Amino acid sequence: MPIRFLSVALMSAAMLLISACQSTGSGNTTADTVEQQSTLLQHWVAQAAPEIAADPQQYRLQILLTEIRRDGDGNPELMQHQYRADAEYLYPASTVKLAIAALALEYLQQLAVYGVTPDSVMHTEPLLPDDMLVNRDDSAANGLPTVRHYVKKIQLVSDNDAYNRLYELMGQQYIEQRLTELGFSGAEILHRLERPLSAEQNRQTNAVAFYDAAGRLLYRQPARTAPALTARALTPVGQDHLKNGVLQGKPLDFSQKNRWTVSHMHRMLQLIMLPETVPGAGGLQLTAPDRHFLQQMMAMLPGDSTDPSYDSSQYWPTYVKFLIYGSAKDARIDPSVHIYNKVGDAYGFLLDSAYIKDDCSGAELMLTAALYVNADGVLNDDNYEYDEVGLPFLQRLGEQALAHARAQGPKPCVATRP
């Protein structure tokens, strides 16, 4: 179907999502791109948080917005806006998990010849110190680990262990190669999460075996080691950081950390939710059932899942819906608003990348936003202004985007949520 891209005043052509996201590995862009801000987003930021608008560089604030409108034949028209996108390094935290989930579903197609499916039982063999054989998943109704169940846990509650298993399935080298093929220039997903491993250890990935329901071996993939990375420039964040409870007297270096920019997040969202807007064969090679499943998990709330099931006191309905709902545990959910997203939070960084569909007005949009809230400048002290500054800002930004989309939507809508 034909896709029309509508230009926006002050919008740099480099920010069009149809491009290959030409951000550098350090997350920098040209001064021209950074200076050409969307006046719409500038206005929203000033309304949502004047203190952030006054010094967006301190907060490393970066936003991408895509307004989606459809012509009479249902073909999407995309209007792009950006605010400081990729202006400086952002630690992507758990936002990389959506990419890993999508790539893992795609990866299994290579193993289909052996009978492997997302529902095949997956065993991860020990490799590194403290590793154990992973042949059980007590969160699954049948107690067995599968790629499907790992994807569920990633999207429902941002499970780190599930992400690590899929990272180990594909390995560092394959992940980088596939992201490059998909046009994610400069993207690097280099390590497991919540494990204090060296760069060398993260290059090594475990042997993985798949079994059918009767316990017959379908395929075994040996342990692998990715090539060594080239040295990268220091990437300092903050003024100081704690290590083993002791201040180190210098910023924390992120040069060996994941690099996944707001442009990368936004483009991955587009590949999953709007594959028809990607020309040629440049998109994810997901089967229709796998794409539908992934989209379903991106929108599902923890309480709506029965396998796995989650304690609502720990995982409230909007647990991983920062845009529109913020940190409110008692938020009134608007049933007409569907949020397909992935969030992240770590080291004072807060991020959310969401495709939002509103049944009330028929409006659609994609919104990716990230900021850094660490007033004391010390990392690893767990003293970040998530609840005081970051999440309220993301909530207000999401509300503004939804209100704007509803006003522009094809159907009149009376808001059902205060």
pLDDT digits (tens, 9 = 90+) for 76-133: 999 999 999 999 999 999 999 999 999 999 999 999 999 999 999 999 999 999 999 9
State the pLDDT at residue 19.
37
Helix-strand-coil split of the chain, %, nearest 5: 35, 20, 45
In the chain, where are the structural domains located?
A: 4-93+257-408, 96-234
Beta strand 349-358 with 240-243 is unpaired
Token reading at 283: 């998109």
State the pLDDT at residue 232.
86
State the pLDDT at residue 26.
34
Q: Which stretches within 194-321 are classed as H helix?
A: 199-203, 262-273, 288-299
Token reading at 309: 């099931």
State the pLDDT at residue 413.
85
State the pLDDT at residue 25.
33
Token reading at 83: 């605010």
3-class state of residue 73 by DSSP: coil
State the pLDDT at residue 12.
34
Rg (CA), the chain: 21
Q: Which ranges of the chain have pLDDT less than 50?
A: 1-35, 418
State the pLDDT at residue 280.
64
Q: How far apart (Å, rounded) are the C-alpha atoms in residues 26 and 15?
A: 17
